[in-house]
Amino acid sequence: MLILAIESSCDETAAAVVKDAREIISNIVHTQLAEHSLYGGVVPEIASRRHMEKLSSVTKEALQQANLSLEEIDAIAVTAGPGLIGALLAGVNFAKGLAFASNKPLIPVHHVRGHVAACYLADSTLEPPFLCLSVSGGNSLIVRVDDYTDFKLLGYSRDDAAGEAFDKAARAMGLGYPGGVYIDNAAQSGNPDAYKLPSPHVEGSRLDMSFSGIKTAVVNLIHNAEQKGLEINKNDLSASFQKTVGDILINRLMLSCEMTGIKICCLAGGVSANSYLRSNLQKECLKRNIRLIMPPLSLTGDNAAMIGAQGYYEYLAGNVAKADLNAVATLSIEGVTAESFRV
Ligand code: KG4
């Protein structure tokens, strides 16, 4: 089955053609990064406008690269939430028009389910049940994937998402946007034990996480140093921050394996590009004989191929939208059906 997928939940306008959830036929991503970095973060209104301008050409390019016409496509999948509401609406309305004009089924896809599905594209033999740590700018969560459309939330960040903490800590250090990439680069020549940062636990949960205190510790450290006229070593602080956040994520995922007895783990989302997280998670999984699947760097950030992959399984589960499809800014990953995105 050939699915044309559209993604516009944040600052990437993306379209892809995916075959049977496992094969990328084409994958086009137009990033708005340069424009948003002028403001140090995503400006929702600008994001929506750029999606409106780019959706048509990015989709045309995805079809051209696949060497397919719209008639040869079997269904259209679109990210319908969670995300920035204006940005989502741009993609949903575009996909709706395309689907109804061409008389194709329209499949609404949960954005984080899409990130998880990037792992089906990374390893074509991957099948549920497995655990997935999905870490991005908007969400940080650990899910048990019992079946392709059956997710159980095991743990999540109670405050900032891990990526959000990276971005805010980087801003405090005067590094660029998106902060994760800059911190990762700076950390390469830093000492991860130079600064002691807090590693908070959430009362009443062994798997939930909290990152805003670590970010605040970075901000306070910088302010204190400024007041005393002391220099902060940004490479050392980046390495310490990255290790603190990475260790929490790895600890919670390994604990989830212990608690569930599941020995297949996946990593997904923008923060899964982090070099410390990737290499240390690999080591921990090897020690415990856990199979680890990580998407290639090209599929860690927002893209439409992952939406096409998850869209296939949503279609098989009967999650096809009607004309009243809407976009939803916040939505749990559990129990999602086409009904979850209705007006
Ligand atoms: O998944 P994504 O592209 O968009 C969302 O759906 O949020 O994730 C973006 C996030 C940003 O917060 C960015 O700083 C972070 O992923 N990120 C990284 C790295 N590359 C991107 N964080 C840590 N290390 C990286 N190498």
**What is the Cα–Cα distance from 241 to 169, expressed in whole angstroms?**
8
Residue 238 alpha carbon to ligand 1 centre in Å: 15
Residue 316 alpha carbon to ligand 1 centre in Å: 30
Q: Average of pLDDT values for 245-274?
A: 98
Q: Where does ligand 1 bind, in terms of residues with CB under 6 Å?
A: 10, 136-138, 163, 166-167, 178-181, 184, 269-271, 273-274, 301-302
For residue 238, the model assigns a pLDDT of 98
For residue 220, the model assigns a pLDDT of 97
End-to-end CA distance of the chain: 28
For residue 5, the model assigns a pLDDT of 99
For residue 179, the model assigns a pLDDT of 95
Neighbours of 216 (CB within 10 A): 17
For residue 120, the model assigns a pLDDT of 98
Residue of minimum CA distance from atom 1 in ligand 1: 270
The answer, yes or no, to whether residue 30 has pLDDT greater than 80, is yes
Q: Which of 317, 316, 307 is nearest to 112 (CA)?
A: 307
For residue 84, the model assigns a pLDDT of 97
Q: What is the pLDDT of residues 271-302, one digit of tens each?
A: 999 999 999 999 999 999 999 999 999 999 99
The answer, yes or no, to whether residue 343 has pLDDT greater than 90, is no
Residue 78 alpha carbon to ligand 1 centre in Å: 21
Q: How far is CA 237 from CA 11, 142, 154, 207, in A?
A: 28, 27, 30, 26
For residue 307, the model assigns a pLDDT of 98
**What is the Cα–Cα distance from 320 to 332, expressed in whole angstroms?**
18
Q: How confident is the model at residue 342 (pLDDT cuts 50, 70, 90)?
A: confident
Ligand 1 atom having least distance to the Cα of 167: 14
Residue 167 alpha carbon to ligand 1 centre in Å: 8
Q: What is the pLDDT of residues 129-182, one digit of tens each?
A: 999 999 999 999 999 999 999 999 999 999 999 999 999 999 999 999 999 999
Positive/negative CA dihedral, 269, 315, 325, 46: positive
The answer, yes or no, to whether residue 113 has pLDDT greater than 80, is yes
pTM assigned to the model: 0.96
Q: How confident is the model at residue 40 (pLDDT cuts 50, 70, 90)?
A: confident
